[in-house]
Amino acid sequence: MRKVTPIILTWEYPPRIIGDMAHHVDRLTKGLNKAKIQTSVVTCHDSPYSYERRSDLLELFWASNPVEPHISVITWCLTLNSEIERIVSDLYYSRNGEIDFLDVHDWHFVAAGINLKRALGIPFIFTVHSLEDQRSPKPTSPLSSCIRGLERMGANESDLVITKSDSMKEEIIKIHNIPQSKINVVPPTEKDWIKEIIKSYSKITTNKGE
């Protein structure tokens, strides 16, 4: 079976650590590399460099926000999405369109995932770490409603949703009303976590030509 080559979109990755997602994606990329999976990470950092090769199988692309300052996390994120689209498009054209899929972590770069899918036909997985309804002390506020709207787009327009637990799966179905069959539960605590992730990834590349 041909090996998958994921492009992971995440708003945090070491050395930029905001919460647990940076550690999670770091463990994920290390695990994928151990399994000899070539992985690219597109993330944000105000680094003077836009590219870093960390190992033979792991390359990082840093995006910095083209607009400064911002008035909210949403305007910051959504502006940055155009920069993410630029980086992934460059990869797409330099690889002659040979991109398997994107793995988009949480809502921050969902817009880029959707647009790249619609424009260039790149499938995307929406990996849900948490939902705005759980994170926000005011889930009905306009800010949280807007983030929930982006999560809904991600849940609906992605080709597959990956999440960490059955309870999170139930929450996603309850809030975003998507079919159970679209969600794979892959707990990162399991021994075969990476194996299961690769299985999910393979599902997308198998379906790609259909």
Partner 1 sequence: MLTPNVLMLAWEFPPRIIGGLAPHVYELSRALVKKGIEVHVATCDFPGAEAYEVVDGVTVHRVDSYSNPTPDFATWVAMMNVNLQREIAEIIASNDISLLHAHDWLVASASIGLKHMFRIPLVATIHSTEYGRRSGIHNDYQRMISSTEGWLTREAWRIICCSRYMAKEINSTLGVSETSIDIVPNGINNALFRVPINLEQLRSRFAQPNEKLVLFVGRLVQEKGVSTIVEAAPHLHGLNVKIVIVGEGYLKEELIRRVKELGLSDRVYVTGFLETETIRGLFRVADVCLIPSIYEPFGIVALEAMAGGSPIVTSGSGGLGEILEHDRTAVFVYQSPESLAGGIRKILNDHRYADYLRKEASKRVKSYEWGAIATSTIGTYMRTILEYTEAKWKPF
**What amino acid is encoded at 163 in this protein?**
T
> Does the protein bind partner 1 through residue 18 (CB under 8 A)?
no
DSSP 58-81: EEEEEE--SS---SSHHHHHHHHH
Shortest reach from residue 66's CB to partner 1, in Å = 5
Contact 27, 121 (CB under 8 A): no
Segment lying near partner 1 (by CB under 8 A), choices 39-47, 48-56, 148-156, 181-189: 148-156
Query: Whole-number minimum distance, CB 154 to partner 1, in Å?
Result: 11
The single residue among 114, 125, 194, 198 that binds partner 1, judged by CB under 8 A, is 114
Q: What backbone phi and psi angles, to 5 degrees, belong to 8?
A: -95, 130
Residue 166 CB, shortest distance to partner 1, in Å, is 29
CA nearest 7: which of 25, 20, 27, 34? 25
Tokens 């502006």 sit on residue:
79
Going residue by residue from 71 to 110, which x/- string records binding to partner 1, judged by CB under 8 A?
Answer: xx-xx--xx-xx--xx--xx--x-----------------
Angle value at C-alpha 143, between 178 and 42, nearest 5 degrees: 70
Any contact of residue 111 with partner 1 (CB under 8 A)?
yes
Number of Cβ atoms within 10 Å of the Cβ of 171: 17
Decide whether 81 or 163 has the Cβ nearer to partner 1: 81
Q: Which residue from 50, 67, 187, 206 is in contact with partner 1, where contact means CB under 8 A?
A: 67
**Residue 118 binds partner 1 (CB under 8 A):** yes
User: Which of 55, 145 has the CB closer to partner 1?
Assistant: 145
**Binder among 15, 142, 179, 209 for partner 1 (CB under 8 A):** 142
Show the 3-state SS of 102-162: EEEECHHHHHHHHHHHHHHCCCEEEEECCCHHHHCCCCCCHHHHHHHHHHHHHHHHCCEEE
Residue pair 105/113 in contact (Cβ under 8 Å)? The answer is: no
Per-residue x/- mask for partner 1, residues 151 to 190, rule CB under 8 A?
--x-------------------------------------
Give the span between the Cα atoms of 163 and 127, in whole angstroms. 6
Residues found near partner 1 in the complex (CB under 8 A): 66-72, 74-75, 78-79, 81-82, 85-86, 89-90, 93, 111-112, 114-116, 118-120, 141-143, 145-146, 149-150, 153
